[in-house]
């Protein structure tokens, strides 16, 4: 058969899509893979590498194989404007943090090796020194995530006894992390005091008894109690606890190292007010890799370092490398705000966002796109009552619904995740990189035109 005849006998995409074997695939994936497979067969026939055309059944087998091979963890473009979007991986690492993780991944390192003595070293010593400098704490420890940090602190200190907490702080974090359940896991009992909206110092004082092991304060990072409300200040709580020889454990949640819009408490403040152990996340406002950080007094942290759970919750070298580089940037606050994507996104002036919206809108000229003012949440359960003023490019598609446009953009080679609002797709500038504007414009044109 001559090549032309062979080319004509390549199965039609529509026929392939009707095959029952492909019914389990999402239509966009099936179309993509069918086109790609057909293109390769065409090229094979033209180059002479292929002398026959695979059957429809063979085509389907290849397509299914490829669907399984499609990398599941893929880069996406975050056009939602939410910098710490938990579903999209929370904080993006800075270039130096990503480089540090890359270097640690590919070669040996002095992870637990002391270059001076030639003997065993500690995997924590470098990050710990940085954390001490940045927070003013005596000691520090890093584990897998903040949930693990709370688990470790309560298991080691609360063990067999009671931990006192205000009823206004029985927090649930997305993904089934609930303070009461964590405490139960840690082999201690929760002693709830006060009311949902108000807790007084005397409530804590009355609850302390011989079995009390610690006073727990949880930062209500993802909600606020407003109106007739009140909680006990950290310094008052510390004073009471120390009178009774008890530690205060504070779960700060987001844990910012620099003052941010929204007035989130900083780790340094908690240390200054005397919290004995402060725990926070590495990949929320800090802008580093997923990690749980504990800082505080030597007296309480040293036993934690030797606790058997610590080994089970330990972080790997990639995390430590990325965290070290992220913390290094914080030694110069201006450098941190510049280099660390999460901080840059949270502090970027609205004017800059407007200028960037204009640049993106220009690339979309001729399409039904306009610049709109927006208010954006920080995400990751941080800064719940802070709306950051920003700008977006809003696209109102004429030939399809906004939800359909959003779906097509999700199916793009590098999926684009937009914010659908009132029949428009919003591309928020806060979480986009300028270098992606050309790709965004090309992809949107491809879908709409
Ligand atoms: C986010 C959060 C956690 C959980 O932190 P992870 O790092 O996601 O494990 C725990 N407590 C509070 C108050 C939080 O905001």
Domains of the chain: 3-69 (no CATH), 77-87+343-448 (3.90.1150.180), 93-339 (3.40.640.10)
Task: Give 304 Cα–ligand 1 centroid separation in angstroms.
Answer: 19
pLDDT at 73 over 70: yes
pLDDT, position 326: 98
Using the atom order of ligand 1, give the atom closest to the CA of residue 148: 9
In angstroms, the CA 433 to CA 342 distance is 12
pLDDT at 225 over 90: no
pLDDT, position 386: 81
Using the atom order of ligand 1, give the atom closest to the CA of residue 150: 10
The arithmetic mean of pLDDT across residues 344-360, rounded, is 97
Using the atom order of ligand 1, give the atom closest to the CA of residue 147: 9
Q: What are 400-427's pLDDT values in tens digits?
A: 999 999 999 998 889 999 999 999 999 9
pLDDT, position 179: 85
User: For the packed helices 437-448 and 402-410, what is the interaxial angle rounded to 10 degrees?
Assistant: 120
What one-character DSSP code corresponds to residue 434? Answer: G
Task: Give 281 Cα–ligand 1 centroid separation in angstroms.
Answer: 6
* Phi, psi torsion values for 120, nearest 5 degrees: -70, 140
* Phi, psi torsion values for 345, nearest 5 degrees: -65, -35
pLDDT, position 205: 97
pLDDT at 214 over 90: yes
Q: Kindly indicate the confidence band of residue 231, based on its pLDDT and cuts at 50, 70 and 90.
A: confident
User: Which of 250, 277, 381, when mutated, tests ligand 1's pocket best, judged by the most ligand atoms within 8 Å of its CB?
Assistant: 381
- From residue 223, alpha-carbon distances to 75, 86, 88, 283, 315 in Å are 30, 16, 21, 19, 29
Is the torsion defined by CA of 241, 246, 247, 253 positive or negative? Answer: negative
The tokens 């399984």 sit on which residue? 68
């Amino acid at each position: 058969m001559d090549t032309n005849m062979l080319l004509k006998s390549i199965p039609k995409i529509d026929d392939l899509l009707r095959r029952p074997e492909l019914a389990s695939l999402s239509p966009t994936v099936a179309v993509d893979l069918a086109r790609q497979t057909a293109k390769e067969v065409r090229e094979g026939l033209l180059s002479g590498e292929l002398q026959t055309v695979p059957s429809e059944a063979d085509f389907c087998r290849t397509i299914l194989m490829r669907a399984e091979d499609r990398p599941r963890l893929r880069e996406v473009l975050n056009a939602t404007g939410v910098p710490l979007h938990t579903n999209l991986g929370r904080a993006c690492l800075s270039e130096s943090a990503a480089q540090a993780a890359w270097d640690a991944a590919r070669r040996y390192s002095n992870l637990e090796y002391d270059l001076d003595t030639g003997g065993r070293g500690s995997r924590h010593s470098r990050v710990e020194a940085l954390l001490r400098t940045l927070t003013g704490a005596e000691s520090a420890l890093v584990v897998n995530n903040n949930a693990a940090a709370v688990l470790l602190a309560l298991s080691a200190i609360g063990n067999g006894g009671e931990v006192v907490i205000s009823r206004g702080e029985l927090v649930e974090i997305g993904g089934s992390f609930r303070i009461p359940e964590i405490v139960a896991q840690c082999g201690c009992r929760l002693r709830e005091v006060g009311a949902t909206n108000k807790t007084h110092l005397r409530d804590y004082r009355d609850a302390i008894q011989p079995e009390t092991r610690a006073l727990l304060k949880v930062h209500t990072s993802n909600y606020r109690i407003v109106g007739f409300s009140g909680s006990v200040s950290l310094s008052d709580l510390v004073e009471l606890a120390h009178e009774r020889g008890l530690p205060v454990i504070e779960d700060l949640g987001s844990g910012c190292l620099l003052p941010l819009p929204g007035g989130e408490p900083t780790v340094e403040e908690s240390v200054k007010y005397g919290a004995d152990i402060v725990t926070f996340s590495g990949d929320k406002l800090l802008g580093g890799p997923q990690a749980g950080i504990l800082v505080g007094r030597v007296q309480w942290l040293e036993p934690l370092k030797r606790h058997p759970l610590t080994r089970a919750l330990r972080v790997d070298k990639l995390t430590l490398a990325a965290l070290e580089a992220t913390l290094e940037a914080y030694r110069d606050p201006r450098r941190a705000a510049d280099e660390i994507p999460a901080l840059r996104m949270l502090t970027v002036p609205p004017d800059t966002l407007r200028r960037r919206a204009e640049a993106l809108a220009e690339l979309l000229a001729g399409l039904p796109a306009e610049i709109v003012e927006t208010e954006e949440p920080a995400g990751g359960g941080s800064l719940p009552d802070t709306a950051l003023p920003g700008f977006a490019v809003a696209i109102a598609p004429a030939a399809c619904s906004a939800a359909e446009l959003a779906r097509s953009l999700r199916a793009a080679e590098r999926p684009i995740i937009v914010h659908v609002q009132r029949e428009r797709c919003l591309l928020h500038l806060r979480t986009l990189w300028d270098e992606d504007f050309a790709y965004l414009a090309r992809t949107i044109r491809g879908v709409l035109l």
